[in-house]
Amino acid sequence: MDSCRKMLGKRIKELRKSKNLTQEKLSELVGFEPNHITKIEAGKHFPQPEKLEILAKIFDVQVKDLFDYEHKISKQTLKQKIIEWLDDAQSAEIEYVYKMINSLKELKREIRRG
């Protein structure tokens, strides 16, 4: 349960920052004491179900999305998944993905140049 609280805390912090909310403002919107969000984000407290629903509405997500910890994958895990996919892919698929990556890299360079 400890790791679940910590992961939920990280997710709430991530969503809060994506909405440009301070901990104080989020506490106010949810109806928490001012330091309660700090404790939740640190993985020390777990919000009540009705508060999870309020948080989800504030973040414009479903409650289940508060528990979506898989969306951030480590670089090493991504590399491994790509290698596994490449091992099973056909030559034409690999070539297509290669061209897409090169196109994205070129687009990124153009954006940087302005």
- pLDDT at 114 > cutoff 90: no
Going from N- to C-terminal start, the domains of the chain cover 2-67, 75-113
Percent of the chain past pLDDT 90, that is, above it, reads 71
Mean pLDDT, the chain, rounded, equals 90
The pLDDT confidence band at residue 27, using thresholds 50, 70 and 90, is very high
What does pTM read for this prediction? 0.62
Secondary structure (3-state) at 21: coil
Sorted by sequence, the CB contacts under 8 Å of residue 68 that are 6+ apart come out as 11
Sorted by sequence, the CB contacts under 8 Å of residue 28 that are 6+ apart come out as 34
Sorted by sequence, the CB contacts under 8 Å of residue 1 that are 6+ apart come out as 46
CA distances from 23 to 30, 48, 86 (A): 11, 17, 43
pLDDT of the residue at 74 = 75
The whole-number average pLDDT for the span 80-95 is 91
The whole-number average pLDDT for the span 19-45 is 94
pLDDT of the residue at 2 = 67
CATH superfamily of the domain spanning 2-67: lambda repressor-like DNA-binding domains (1.10.260.40)
